[in-house]
């Protein structure tokens, strides 16, 4: 082998070895999170400056470009972020490089805020409201190979605000002095302004940036714990009582062959899935302690979304069936009526969740909890921050339509029921039956899912009271359905005994239809 060929071989081998040592940008974040380093953020910043992109497939939420250091850079992400970097920041990031050229590398990554475990709340308490990371997204900006700070001309970072918020503050992640991986959101060196719904952050350094906004629901640590206990106990009891309802129906299904009972049982099954998926989702997040995303959390998010949509759909079917009973009291017959309702009740949620699953919107969802001295976050397997628009449409919007329709049907029932009670009855008799009418109205409210409308009362000055009422009524809905099923069973048996040997009157049929 010639000497020149030997030198070429050594150079090529050295180049291959150096490139092999460089980390892969796809696994850089996971490597820092799983390693035993003191600060995963510092580790990730170092890897962003040296990592390489292996393969041709694009990395989600990862953006890298080479720019001229003598011209102000302007970069954008697909998530709606914009970064304007002045010339002095570009040149300072490469000032100590002996091999520097006129170009510098800019890397931007959009991260989930659940990765940052906040141990201290930013600044003083903002009245009675808490703060949270807007859209649950954090933007990491890295320029060149060196840290950039104390800039004369600030870096401008634009965060697009999809929701209306009262106030917002631009912050960056500041590591704690203990170097134990914890930190806090700080606004040092950053100024905040709002321009046509976009938060403009002017900071004199580069780091991990986010915007803290006022959360819609203000819950401190004590009330959050109380609401969690209510939800856990209520859901556990609902699982037990809904399961008992289904067992009773299976044992006495020959006696309960009416369509109304079948629809009640379908709604009970949807509630059973809902409370089981909620408890399993909470258990999984607690078991994993928020350390990883994982496909299991994605699956739990899909199941929880599907069960919630199924509950809403069967509540709407309850209202529709009640409308059919009120309009057509006699000779109600639709070919394969219950089968068609089942296709709607289970088909619509399934199709919606499958479409959302292909869109990749499920994952870990973080909620900020305000404390007396510090703040923290709680996680749940649900729709991630990237799919909040889908959450508003498929959950809030769908619930609003179901709530309006079933509320109207409940009003019609109340009018017809009181008119029926008032025919041929004395004042004292009507007064003695009033409590039964109210019991009927409350039972129908539970069946029609009216308590879910309390979700719209969790905003404003009475948000805390609305949260408690919402948690109590909806977590114990399975218990209420069990009591309603018992009442229907006993009343149906009594009416069958009273009708034996004689033709039922139209008034009795009317009351039975309402029940």
pLDDT in tens, 376-425: 456 678 887 666 678 888 998 999 999 999 999 888 878 877 776 655 55
Buried b / exposed e along 255-266 (16+ C-beta atoms within 10 A):
ebeebbbbbbbb
- 376 belongs to a structural domain: yes
Q: How confident is the model at residue 39 (pLDDT cuts 50, 70, 90)?
A: confident
pLDDT > 80? residue 297: yes
The domain boundary residue, chosen from 152, 187, 214: 214
- 344 belongs to a structural domain: yes
Least confident of 23-27, 236-240, 403-407, 413-417: 413-417
Residue with more model confidence, 26 or 196: 26
Asked whether 106 and 67 are in contact (CB, 8 A), the reply is yes
Distance of CA 3 to the CA centre of its chain: 66
pLDDT of residue 345: 95
- The enclosing domain of 174 has a CATH number of 2.60.220.50
Q: Do 395 and 257 belong to one domain?
A: yes
Q: How confident is the model at residue 470 (pLDDT cuts 50, 70, 90)?
A: very high
pLDDT > 50? residue 30: yes
- 1 belongs to a structural domain: no
pLDDT > 70? residue 248: yes
Q: Do 116 and 143 belong to one domain?
A: yes
Which residue blocks in 423-462 are alpha helix, DSSP H? 427-432, 434-447
Q: Do 119 and 231 belong to one domain?
A: no
Write the CA distances from 459 to 172, 230, 356, integer angstroms: 28, 20, 27
Q: Do 376 and 234 belong to one domain?
A: yes
Q: Do 260 and 202 belong to one domain?
A: no
Q: Do 333 and 462 belong to one domain?
A: yes
Asked whether 130 and 370 are in contact (CB, 8 A), the reply is yes
- 5 belongs to a structural domain: no
Domain residues for 348? Answer: 221-514
Q: Do 376 and 356 belong to one domain?
A: yes
- 10 belongs to a structural domain: no
Calculate what percentage of the chain has a pLDDT beyond 90: 20
Q: What is the chain's percent helix, strand, coil content, to nearest 5?
A: 55, 20, 30
Q: Do 316 and 262 belong to one domain?
A: yes
- 13 belongs to a structural domain: no
Give me 352's structure tokens: 């919606």
The domain boundary residue, chosen from 178, 199, 214: 214
Asked whether 57 and 135 are in contact (CB, 8 A), the reply is no
pLDDT in tens, 117-128: 664 444 433 333
Buried b / exposed e along 183-212 (16+ C-beta atoms within 10 A):
bbbbbebbebeeeeeebbbbbbbbbbbbbb
Asked whether 272 and 478 are in contact (CB, 8 A), the reply is yes
Helix (H, G, I), strand (E, B) or coil at 327: helix
pLDDT in tens, 265-274: 999 999 999 9
Beta bridge partners of 104: 67
Domain count, the chain: 2
Asked whether 321 and 405 are in contact (CB, 8 A), the reply is no
**Concatenated DSSP letters of 20-43:** HHSPBTTTHHHHHHHS--S-HHHH
Q: Do 139 and 78 belong to one domain?
A: yes
Asked whether 258 and 332 are in contact (CB, 8 A), the reply is no
- 8 belongs to a structural domain: no
The domain boundary residue, chosen from 214, 242, 269: 214
Q: Do 393 and 482 belong to one domain?
A: yes
pLDDT of residue 476: 93
- The enclosing domain of 371 has a CATH number of 1.20.1070.10
Q: Do 321 and 354 belong to one domain?
A: yes
- 381 belongs to a structural domain: yes
pLDDT > 60? residue 9: no
* Highest mean pLDDT (candidates 4-13, 293-302, 348-357): 348-357
Q: Do 362 and 496 belong to one domain?
A: yes
Q: What are phi and psi of 104, to 5 degrees?
A: -135, 150
């Amino acid at each position: 082998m010639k000497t020149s060929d030997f030198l070429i071989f050594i150079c090529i081998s050295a180049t291959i070895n150096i490139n092999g040592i460089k980390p892969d940008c796809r696994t850089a974040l996971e490597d820092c999170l799983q390693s035993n380093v003191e600060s995963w953020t510092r580790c990730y910043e170092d890897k962003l400056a040296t990592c390489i992109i292996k393969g041709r497939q694009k990395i989600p939420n990862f953006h890298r470009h080479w720019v001229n250091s003598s011209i102000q850079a302007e970069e954008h992400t697909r998530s709606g972020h914009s970064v304007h970097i002045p010339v002095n920041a570009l040149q300072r990031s490469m000032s100590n490089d002996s091999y520097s050229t006129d170009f510098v590398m800019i890397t931007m990554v959009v991260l989930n805020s659940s990765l940052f475990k906040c141990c201290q709340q930013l600044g003083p308490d903002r009245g009675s409201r808490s703060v949270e990371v807007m859209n649950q997204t954090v933007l990491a900006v890295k320029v060149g190979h060196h840290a950039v700070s104390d800039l004369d001309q600030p870096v401008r970072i634009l965060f697009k605000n999809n929701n209306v918020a009262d106030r917002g503050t631009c912050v960056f992640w500041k590591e704690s002095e203990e170097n134990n991986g914890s930190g806090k959101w700080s606004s040092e060196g950053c100024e905040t302004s709002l321009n046509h719904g976009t938060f403009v952050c002017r900071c004199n350094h580069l780091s991990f940036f986010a915007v803290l906004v006022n959360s819609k629901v203000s819950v401190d640590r004590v009330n959050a714990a109380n609401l969690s206990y209510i939800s856990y106990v209520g859901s556990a009891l609902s699982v037990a009582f809904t399961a008992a309802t289904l067992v009773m129906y299976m044992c006495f299904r020959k006696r309960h062959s009416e369509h109304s009972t079948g629809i009640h049982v379908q709604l009970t099954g949807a509630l059973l899935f809902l409370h089981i998926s909620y408890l399993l989702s909470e258990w999984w997040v607690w078991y994993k302690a928020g350390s990883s995303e994982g496909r299991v959390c994605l699956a739990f998010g899909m199941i929880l979304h599907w069960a919630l949509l199924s509950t809403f759909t069967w509540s709407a079917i309850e209202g529709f069936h009640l409308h059919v009973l009120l309009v057509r009291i006699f000779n109600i017959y639709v070919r394969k009526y219950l089968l068609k309702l089942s296709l709607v009740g289970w088909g619509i949620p399934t199709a919606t969740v499958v479409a959302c699953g292909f869109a990749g919107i499920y994952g870990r969802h973080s909620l900020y909890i305000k404390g007396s001295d510090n703040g923290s976050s709680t996680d749940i397997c649900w729709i991630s921050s990237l799919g909040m628009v889908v959450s508003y449409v498929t959950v809030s919007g769908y619930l609003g339509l179901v709530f309006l329709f079933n509320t109207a049907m409940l009003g019609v029932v109340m009018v017809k029921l009181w008119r029926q009670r008032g025919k041929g009855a004395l004042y004292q008799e009507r007064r003695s039956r009033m409590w039964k009418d109210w019991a009927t109205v409350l039972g129908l409210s539970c069946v029609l899912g009216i308590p879910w409308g309390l979700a719209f009362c969790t905003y404003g000055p009475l948000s805390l009271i609305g949260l408690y009422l919402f948690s109590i009524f909806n977590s114990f809905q399975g218990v209420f359905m069990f009591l309603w099923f018992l009442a229907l069973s006993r009343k149906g048996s009594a009416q069958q005994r009273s009708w034996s040997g004689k033709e039922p009157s139209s008034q009795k049929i009317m009351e039975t239809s309402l029940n």
